[in-house]
Amino acid sequence: MKVNDVVTYEVEGPIAVITVNSPPVNALSNAVRQGVADAVQTAIGDSAVGAMVLICDGRTFFAGAEISELGKPQVEPSLRNLQLIVENATKPVIAAMHGTALGGGLELALVAHYRIAVPSAKMGLPEIKLGLLPGAGGTQRLPRVIGIAKALDLILSGDPVSATSAKAMGLIDELATEGNLRADALTLACRVLEEKRPLLKVRDRADKLDEARGKPEIFAEIRQANAKKFRGYKAPENIVRAVEATLELPFDQGMVRERELFNELEKDSQSAAQRHVFFAERLAAKVSGIPSDTAALPIKKVGVIGAGTMGGGIAMNFANAGIPVTIVETSQEALERGLRIIRGNYETTAKKGKMKPEDVDTRMGLLTGSVAMGDLADCDLIIEAVFENLDVKREVFARLDRIAKPGAILATNTSYLDIDDIAAATQRPESVVGLHFFSPANVMKLLEVVRTKDTKPEITVTAMKLAKTIGKIGVLVGNGFGFVGNRILAARNTQADRLVLEGATPWAVDKVLYDFGFAMGHFQMRDLVGLDVGWNRDATSSANVREILNEIGRHGQKTRGGYYDYDENRKQTPSPVASQVIEDFAAKQGIARRAVNDEEIHDRILFAMVNEGARILDEGIASRASDIDIVWVTGYGWPKYRGGPMFWADLQGLPVVLEKLKTLEAAHGEAFKPSPLIERLVAQGKGFKDA
Ligand code: T1G
């Protein structure tokens, strides 16, 4: 019978089967919790029922709390109260898991008396990825089942474990036969009844905790091991404290402590930011303005032109997804070098255990090298990753246009060039798209999908679907200088370069960005990438500090000197040489140097980035503010706990942002002229999230 729209209740023999069907992932929404609570109460009161099975239809067992309900007033029955109903049931409850039993879903399974899962199931507590901790007893129950150390690893990583591992750890009692979960769960329930097995409660178990008593070093070591990775994040420390409470406090008090630590996180902007990123990432995959029934074109064979760093990395993405790739280079030697590097990358990955050794040959078998562009004639998609020069790219596209089969998609990996200009070299501009990968292309998740004024809808849809196929986070952007990511990076570059000419040191600028949460500062990043990337030795003219540093052989880390000096372990120290170059250049420019404080560095860099993001949004180069956030969080290291430049701006309040921009414009000019979009939103009392 239907308990409500998402929960049904059936009795088979002496077993009540409570089935939840709440697409897409059976999240523990208000309706789901209410329905399960009512069904369990019904089973308890049903004299014909001896035990119950809790199972989900669709793709997965409960995948956690309904994230969109977090941060809002709690609606009864809360997950914790539902858990009490299950845990205190007078009849055994068997949780039957498939898909991904995550977060509150696994926490609900932990209050069942027995747990069974199919081998393909995965389970975990990923709350840390949302800036939270398992707030429904996960920090108190999981250690009681698998021990403190394993529980800390699982909760701090946020990664799921397989059902097989879970069985080995004692997290589940039985593995079902694949595809036979319901029947196997019923069998287990009958056995529990027949054998009169006890109503086991995880909360009553202490044996696994005893192993950790008197070993405070476990917590010290886990904090130390994760210090760098978790720098700036609040959730990890609260997680460790909650797990420490399992040793320090009786269960019920431990639950109170967990709730306190959870509440601190739930109302903090860090969790709001990470929940924003969770939904923004998924929203970015949706193409607005194109009919949802627009079919993607089949991509069965891909061509890549260029087997250098980018071309090789791009090709790997498709081989990794099982799509055959033909790589074309200009010479056999360049081709063989490129293929050697790809094989080396795979072998390194396999050595690290991140890939089966036999997959190296499988994936290399999908890569065909050629020095003849004509071999690309049967490709459905051809991506060029040749030298970043408009004439070179136009020439390549003109040739491709004559070679590629009708309907083939021609894609450019350009970072900055105008794709309309490139498309104009072909007779098929409607089939031209930008696929802007980020180096290393086989690693970085971000893919800017650039549509031009002519790109036809099915090409756009195909490219966005392809992004998902190759495991990238595709963000649809317009064809403008630097698209989204690099255009905002250019705004940051401008301010950083001006700041150091006016008196800030590169190390002060870098520290402000590092303290804000970037993995490394701006000038450190430049030294790492190489100051000579894009530098033309033959045309250099000491036009800026970067050129001058290149002209004196300071190309960054690779020459053990750029803005910083580097020792043999690449440890950097501020460079007096670079400082002198900056001072001399400033003097030549007639710039009177002055003390520049951290607040000015912070405001000029961050508000210039926000203002550029607003301009990008206003011009329609990005269709959502959250897309801009995803570009910078995924591709440029904006700290995830700050949600992205546009989310961060909304957090400051756009009226504050507008005032800052006006003040900065008066002092530092055009770059800070407030985007009209910001003025409009402020006038309407709105934020970027409403744009
Ligand atoms: N709540 C709401 N919506 C969710 C959701 C959730 N927990 N999980 C997924 N979705 C939506 C998602 O937005 C998308 O929607 C669709 O489902 C498919 O997702 C108390 C407080 C389950 C592994 O963190 O990891 O429990 O875009 O595209 O790649 O301690 O979704 O289709 O409209 O990602 O197959 C803890 C988060 C919550 C799990 C499936 N749980 N989800 O991946 O599909 S906090 C999580 C995932 C919690 C308790 C605490 C993945 C997935 P739309 P998808 P997928």
Q: How confident is the model at residue 538 (pLDDT cuts 50, 70, 90)?
A: very high
- Separation of CA 27 and ligand 1 centre (Å): 7
pLDDT in tens, 659-675: 999 999 999 999 999 99
**Exposure string for 645-684, b = 16+ CB within 10 A, e = fewer:** bbbbbbbeebeebbebbeebbeebeebbebbebbeebbee
- CATH 1.10.1040.10, the chain: domain bounds: 505-588
Catalytic residue among 127, 258, 281, 612: 127
Cβ neighbours of 180 (radius 10 Å): 11
Cα–Cα distance for residue pair 80/368, rounded to 1 Å: 56
Shortest-distance Cα residue to atom 54 of ligand 1? 282
Cα–Cα distance for residue pair 393/412, rounded to 1 Å: 8
Annotation says 659 is catalytic: no
Cβ pair 267, 601 in contact under 8 A:
no
Element (H, E) at 123: strand 122-124
- CATH 3.90.226.10, the chain: domain bounds: 7-267
pLDDT in tens, 423-434: 999 999 999 999
Is pLDDT above 90 for 211? Answer: no
Sheet containing 325-328: give its strands across.
367-370, 325-328, 302-305, 381-384, 409-412, 432-437, 446-451, 473-478
Cα–Cα distance for residue pair 516/643, rounded to 1 Å: 12
Report domain 7-267's class.
alpha beta
Report domain 505-588's class.
mainly alpha
pLDDT in tens, 566-591: 999 999 999 999 999 999 999 999 99
Q: Which of 6, 20, 25, 110 to mutate to test the pocket of ligand 1 (most atoms within 8 A of CB)?
A: 25
Q: What is the DSSP string of 545-584?
A: HHHHHHHTT--BGGGTBSSEEE-TT--EEE-HHHHHHHHH
Is pLDDT above 90 for 121? Answer: yes
Report domain 302-480's class.
alpha beta
Shortest-distance atom of ligand 1 to CA 79? 20
pLDDT in tens, 213-260: 999 899 999 999 999 999 999 999 999 999 999 999 999 999 999 999
What per-residue confidence (pLDDT) applies to 647?
A: 98
Is pLDDT above 90 for 534? Answer: no
Q: How far is C-alpha 313 from the geometric centre of its chain's CA atoms?
A: 19
Annotation says 194 is catalytic: no
Half-sphere exposure at residue 556, Cβ-oriented, CA atoms within 13 angstroms: 16
Environment class of 451 (CB within 10 Å of its CB; exposed 0-12, middle 13-18, buried 19+): buried
In the structure encoding, which two tokens stand for residue 617, read together?
């949004």
160 Cβ closer than 6 Å to some ligand 1 atom = no
8-state DSSP, 427? S
- Separation of CA 58 and ligand 1 centre (Å): 14
Residue 180: which residues within 8 A CB-CB, separation 6 or more? 118
- CATH 3.40.50.720, the chain: domain bounds: 302-480
107 Cβ closer than 6 Å to some ligand 1 atom = yes
pLDDT in tens, 629-686: 999 999 999 999 999 999 999 999 999 999 999 999 999 999 999 999 999 999 999 9
Is pLDDT above 90 for 69? Answer: yes
- Separation of CA 277 and ligand 1 centre (Å): 12
Q: Which of 26, 59, 67 to mutate to test the pocket of ligand 1 (most atoms within 8 A of CB)?
A: 67
What per-residue confidence (pLDDT) applies to 284?
A: 97
Smallest Cα–Cα separation from 435: which of 294, 288, 306, 619?
A: 306
